Chains A and B, each alone.
Chain A
Amino acid sequence: MTSVALPRARPDYGVGVTERAVPADGRHVVDAEATFHDRSDVLDLAHRLAAGDESCVAEIFDRWSALVHTYALRALGDEQDAEDVTQQVFIAAWISRHTFTPSETTFPAWLIGIARNKVADRRAERARDSRRVEAVSLVTGPEAAAEDGELVDALVVRQLVADLPDPRGAILRLAFWDDLTHAQIADELDLPLGTVKSHVRRGLAQIHARLEEVRDAAR
């Protein structure tokens, strides 16, 4: 089995599903679909899930399936397995909704926790399947758990940056993903240099704080 090649080049804003294009005219777009940042919305989804409102599952899927799928894809290196795991995670979230206490910070962490369990299950299945010894050796070293943690962190950060409302989101995406200097971003978005620097600084601190919340909730 070969591992699936994943794009490493500069992101194409037009392709990434959870990533939005920076408006060509630099207009500041208020994003109503922020995943981690709009806390009340996340809390609302969490409550609806816990209350057994079936209609929330599609929304939950739309918000977090790319994160879960990318994690499964990179952890397992197989598209079919990644699809299976993604499917299982959202069905399992529905089935085990009774065991979940709604909270805006724990909700994404809870989903990620389910995803890690499902990935571990799939690895165990592979380990039992002697025909796929090769696949097992690729993914179940002693480093697997630690690597998983780093992988999840990287993907959560990706989503945090992608979902950050503009103008801060646009500024961070240009700074982190397009390697533009702060001066170039100020020029591109027609903002004062000090404003750009302040947004990058606060944005990094904000992303880090959210990442820590997800990590803590996942423990």
Chain B
Amino acid sequence: MRHADPDELAGLVLDRDGAPAELADHVATCDDCAALADALAVTLGLARTSVPLVAPPARVRQNVLDALVAERPAPVTAAPGQPTDTVTSLDTRRSRRVPWWTTLVAAAAALVLGVGLGALVNRDGAETPGEGTGQVLMAADLSALDRPEGRGTAEAVSTGSDDVLTIRVRASKVAGDGLREVWLINLDGKRMVSLGFLASGETGEFEVPARLMDEGYRIVDISDEPDDGDPTHSGVSLARGELA
């Protein structure tokens, strides 16, 4: 006999006595059909003993939708304590936008610098050079995006120069499948620059032009980055926090 089709085997499982004798005979000698019949019997058992699904309370739905709104690119706002007259109009802001090539150059420079520093800093787990030195100008608590779970801290530290800042990242629980890349996302939610990788641990220091802070690049983001040569953000953020 040819193999039985699933409908026939379902009929056998549902009503062994009512099934054609040749079908039962075939299943008794055919491992494939016997296995499918057994699997259908398991599914039937699951269907018969299953209990009703319980919907979550309405507040869970609302929380999810609220979180989506929070996930949207942050609007441009004056930082707390900042004089209100520094809030620029949309047009002014647009005219001050960093040309695309500047961003690329800055990103490339920061990348090279960041990797170099990362290698230097984390060798033998040695204390980060300059750790604890310099005045902390801004700080951020990093957290996971999908829950209020702490993922470390980031600081913008004065280097003694007005033009250069050090971004000091001390992350935690940011293990991912790929490389961990540190970014500064602009408050406008449209622009970002890469600072480099947390190459050998969960800490790193990155020197950046101080003007990036003034331009709104204040959201520290750590991404899980596949090693695929694509220079853009993978879209998978392990941690994020705003320097303030």
Residue ranges of A at the interface with B (Cβ–Cβ < 8 Å) = 6-8, 11-12, 15-19, 54, 57-58, 61-62, 65-67, 69-70, 73, 82-84, 86-88, 90-92, 94-99, 153-155, 157-159, 161-162, 172, 176-177, 197, 200-202, 204-205, 207-209, 211-212
Contacts and interface: CB of A to CB of B under 8 A. Distances in A.
Given A61-B61, A201-B11, A205-B40, 6 more contacts: A6-B54, A99-B236, A155-B53, A205-B9, A208-B10, A208-B39
B56 A65 contact: yes
Given A90-B64, A95-B71, A18 B55 contact: yes
B50 interface: yes
**Top 7 A-B residue pairs of the complex, sorted by shortest distance between their CB atoms:** A98-B235, A17-B55, A16-B52, A158-B50, A205-B6, A66-B53, A69-B56
A82 B14 contact: no
Given A15-B52, A87-B64, A204 B146 contact: no
A136 B77 CA distance: 45
Contacts of B65: 57-58
A99 to B, nearest CB: 6
Contacts of B64: 57, 61, 87, 90-91
Nearest to B52: A16
B52 A161 contact: no
B68 interface: yes
Nearest to B48: A176
Which interface residue of B11, B64, B65 has the most chain A CB atoms within 10 A? B64
Given A66-B54, A99-B235, A204 B67 contact: no
Contacts of B11: 197, 201
Given A66-B53, A154-B49, A157-B50, A204 B13 contact: yes
Interface in B26-58: 39-40, 43-44, 46-57
B147 A69 contact: no
Contacts of B63: 87
A96 B236 contact: yes
Q: Does more than half of chain B's interface fall in helix, strand or loop, or is it mixed?
A: helix
Nearest to B5: A205
Interface residues of B, number: 41
A54 B68 contact: yes
Given A204-B10, A204-B43, A87 B54 contact: no
B53 A158 contact: yes
Which interface residue of A12, A15, A16, A204 has the most chain B CB atoms within 10 A? A204
B4 to A, nearest CB: 11
Contacts of A12: 52
Given A83-B60, A95-B237, A205-B40, A161 B47 contact: yes
Given A95-B145, A159-B53, A208-B10, A87 B60 contact: yes
B88 interface: no
Contacts of A204: 10, 13-14, 40, 43-44, 47
A201 B145 contact: no
B9 A69 contact: no
Contact of A211 (B10, B43, B48, B55): B43
A202 B7 contact: yes
Contacts of A158: 46-47, 50-53
Interface string B140-182: 0000011100000000000000000000000000000000000
Nearest to B177: A99
A208 B237 CA distance: 37
B234 interface: yes
11 contacts: A18-B53, A18-B55, A58-B61, A87-B64, A98-B234, A98-B236, A155-B50, A176-B47, A200-B10, A204-B47, A211-B46
Contacts of A157: 43, 46-47, 50
Contacts of A82: 56
Nearest to A153: B46
Contacts of A88: 146-147
